[in-house]
Amino acid sequence: MSRDLTGTVALVAGGTRGASRAIAVELGRSGATVYVTGRTSGTHRSEVDRPETIEQTAELVTEAGGTGVAVRVDHLAPDQVRGLAERVDSEQGRIDVLVDGVWGGDGHLGWGKPVWEHSLEASLRMVRLGIDAHIITAHHLLPLVIRGPGGLVVEMTDGTAEYNAAFRKGTSLAFYVAKAAAHHLALALAEETREHRCTAVAMTPGWLRSEAMLDVFGVTEDNWRDALAEQPHFAISESPAFTGRAVAALAADPERARFSGQTLNSGQLAEIYGFTDLDGSRPDGWRYVTEVQDAGRPADTTGYR
């Protein structure tokens, strides 16, 4: 299947780093013009306090063969998102692919703390980042997506709908609610945009080797396997490019409407579309987590990548 997205206008909200950055780059690699938004620019850092910037992502998009445009936006600020919509409308007249990867709440997670012990401020902040910001973004940007038939909306999350059907023990209530909300956002957006022949899905990576995750283990993308000594199950991890390739393949699929309302994952789409991770493998992360890691079995990726 051709993955040529030349002439496609995409917007990746929260595209500063991680899977969203890789999605922006892979859309660009397929020829798209990609607007990259987020709170961290060359002159301002968000609460995440990491060095990656939207300008860097836009540069990577352009280097890959697309056209990257960085726009600093706080997606919790309706006026800023409205201004973003007005700018894209003026410059492009539409959005063909909208990816909402807004998050930045990992620093508030409070691993394993029940809601009464968890910081209330941090809990509410995660809900705001994971739900409010996504609704604000949809409100202002969807009019550009539905302007023509066949638009694609991707709500980024953590976990498949099946995995998140039960509480994620060891996380926290607000994190769980914020991430599980993406499944319902996809269902609602699929229904609300149906008459415009749009496709709306939720999308989750597997165990993502994001910039932050690599830093946690003190490794790089080149030597990430050194982390297996500390965490053997990290063997199932995947690069951000794997999710980027998944979304780019979905965007190029003329039959993608068959997925509308569903929560998809990178390993699932790799089997459907035939792409691989950077090392040539196809990690099936969520099946591994369920069948091996959570089942208490020894780390072994045989049959899972």
- Residue 279 phi, psi (nearest 5): -90, 10
Q: Is the pLDDT of residue 1 over 80?
A: no
Q: Is the pLDDT of residue 174 over 80?
A: yes
Quickly tell me which residue has 């990690």 as its tokens: 283
Q: Which residues, in sequence order, are CB contacts of 258 under 8 Å at separation 6+? A: none
Q: pTM of the entire structure?
A: 0.97
pLDDT digit string, tens, across residues 184-193? 999 999 999 9
How many whole angstroms from its chain centre is CA 272? 19
Q: What percentage of the chain carries pLDDT values higher than 70?
A: 99
pLDDT digit string, tens, across residues 54-65? 999 999 999 999
Q: Is the pLDDT of residue 199 over 70?
A: yes
What six digits make up the tokens of 65? 């063969």
pLDDT digit string, tens, across residues 16-50? 999 999 999 999 999 999 999 999 888 888 888 89
Q: In terms of Cα–Cα distance, which of 179, 188, 277, 263 is closest to 224?
A: 277
pLDDT, averaged across the chain: 96
pLDDT of 260 reads 98
- Residue 294 one-letter amino acid: D
pLDDT of 3 reads 82
pLDDT digit string, tens, across residues 78-121? 999 999 999 999 999 999 999 999 999 999 999 999 999 999 99
pLDDT digit string, tens, across residues 243-284? 999 999 999 999 999 999 999 999 999 999 999 999 999 999
Contact 78, 91 (CB under 8 A): no
Q: Label residue 166 by pLDDT band (50, 70, 90).
A: very high
pLDDT digit string, tens, across residues 212-249? 999 999 999 999 999 999 999 999 999 999 999 999 99
Per-residue exposure over 1-39, b if at least 16 CB sit within 10 Å of its own CB, e if not: eebebeebbbbbbbbbbbbbbbbbbbbbbbbbbbbbbbb
Q: Label residue 2 by pLDDT band (50, 70, 90).
A: low
Longest dimension (CA), the chain: 55
pLDDT of 141 reads 98
pLDDT of 47 reads 86
pLDDT of 43 reads 86
- At residue 21's C-alpha, the angle toward residues 16 and 25, to 5°, is 135
DSSP assignment of the chain equals: -----TT-EEEEETTTSHHHHHHHHHHHHTT-EEEEEES-BTTB--TT--S--HHHHHHHHHHHTSEEEEEE--TT-HHHHHHHHHHHHHHTS--SEEEE-----GGG--TT--TTTS-HHHHHHHHIIIIIHHHHHHHHHHHHHTTSTT-EEEEE-SS-TTGGGS--TTS-HHHHHHHHHHHHHHHHHHHHTGGGT-EEEEEE-SSB--HHHHHHHT--SSSGGGGGGT-GGGGG-B-HHHHHHHHHHHHT-TTGGGGTT-EEEHHHHHHHH----TTS----HHHHIIIIITTTPPP--TTT-
